[in-house]
């Protein structure tokens, strides 16, 4: 019998970088960044430090940063991923400059590849209607309480009624809902709060859900199946995949596609761009303008189908 090969213990995790940890504390405390954002920044800065072989941050030059970005390009990283790394490094060096750790940032002045312009993917109004009805039609697994039908229909209705991000959806509290005014207070990116409309179907669905689950009417709106904790982002994503498959739609669609559908349907039906910007919580109008391309395509299609002289013989 041959001797078993000795097992190689996993490489120990690098010790925390004091500068990085101070930066993350600053982001979390002063800037109020979310835990997911802080985790992403930590992962990026740890990866960068490994690439630079732990060369001190104050000794890095623009050539080092360019080499790191080129390496990611060579390894096939998407442009959006490269820009995320660059953004984290830029923020980190701005912090180091304010703390007088470095005199000059090696990141400033470096040109990044432009992002490919991609039109948002969205569901048609008929597809959206089918998805909203799916929780009431799809057979429930034995381990899922019956009231989860009402919950899932409500979370889809609420997402669509205001174009919420999934993190905003699961973060909703009962105290944020004003049924009389048909509005809700939503905490968005950067802890910015905005008021969003709550349509009649969403209100009715939420009231049915509250009765079905015997909701305490305080704290988290959307509860997990034990009714003891807030529903998670992952749970919403998993449920939506099931409903998409049930409707014969692409299971790769994410809850964010409902947000895209919300904006597209509003513009297609005559809403003005500034109002859509406010409802989506976009800081810049240019971020919202991408939906106008879809709306223009819809307008051109309607024109070609309706106007007698829109197309050549």
Q: How many helices (H) and strands (E) does the chain have?
A: 13, 3
Residue 237 three-state SS: helix
CA dihedral 100, 101, 103, 109 (to 10 degrees): -110
Catalytic residue among 97, 187, 256, 298: 256
Catalytic residue among 68, 93, 243, 291: 291
Indicate the pairing of strand 193-197 with strand 183-187: antiparallel
Q: Could you tell me which of 119, 91, 80 has the C-alpha nearest to residue 23?
A: 91
Catalytic residue among 19, 215, 259, 260: 259
Distance CA 282, CA 34 (A): 17
55 tagged catalytic: no
Distances (CA, A) of 92 to 27, 71, 73, 98, 262: 10, 20, 21, 10, 35
Catalytic residue among 165, 215, 260, 265: 165
The two tokens of residue 295 are 């709306």
165 tagged catalytic: yes
307 tagged catalytic: no
282 tagged catalytic: yes
Catalytic residue among 189, 225, 230, 298: 189
259 tagged catalytic: yes
The two tokens of residue 154 are 């409500």
Q: How many beta carbons lie within 10 A of that of residue 180, not counting itself?
A: 6
225 tagged catalytic: no
Catalytic center residues: 165, 189, 256, 259, 282, 291
């Amino acid at each position: 019998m041959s001797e078993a090969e000795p097992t190689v213990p996993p490489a120990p995790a690098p010790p925390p970088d004091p500068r990085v940890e101070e930066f993350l504390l600053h982001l979390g405390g002063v800037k109020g960044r979310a835990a997911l954002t802080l985790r992403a920044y930590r992962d990026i800065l740890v990866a960068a430090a490994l690439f630079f072989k732990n060369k001190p941050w104050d000794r890095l030059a623009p050539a080092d940063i360019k080499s790191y970005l080129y390496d990611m390009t060579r390894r096939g990283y998407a442009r959006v991923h490269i820009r995320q790394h660059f953004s984290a490094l830029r923020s980190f060096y701005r912090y180091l400059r304010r703390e007088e750790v470095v005199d000059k940032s090696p990141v400033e002045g470096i040109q990044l590849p432009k992002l490919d312009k991609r039109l948002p993917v969205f569901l048609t109004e008929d597809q959206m209607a089918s998805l909203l009805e799916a929780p009431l039609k799809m057979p429930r697994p034995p381990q899922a309480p019956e009231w989860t039908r009402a919950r899932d229909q409500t979370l889809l209705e609420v997402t669509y009624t205001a174009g919420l991000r999934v993190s905003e959806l699961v973060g909703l509290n009962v105290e944020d809902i004003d049924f009389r005014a048909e509005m809700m207070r939503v905490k968005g990116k950067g802890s910015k709060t905005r008021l969003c409309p709550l349509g009649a179907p969403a209100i009715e669905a939420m009231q049915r859900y509250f009765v079905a689950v015997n909701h305490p009417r305080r704290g988290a709106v959307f509860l997990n199946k034990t009714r003891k904790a807030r529903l998670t982002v992952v749970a919403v994503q998993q449920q939506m995949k099931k409903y998409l498959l049930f409707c014969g739609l692409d299971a790769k669609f994410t809850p964010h596609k409902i947000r895209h559908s919300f904006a597209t349907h509003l513009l297609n039906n005559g809403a003005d761009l500034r109002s859509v910007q406010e409802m989506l919580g976009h800081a810049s109008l240019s971020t919202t303008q991408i939906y106008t391309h879809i709306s223009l395509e819809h307008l051109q299609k309607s024109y070609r189908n309706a106007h007698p002289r829109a197309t050549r013989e």
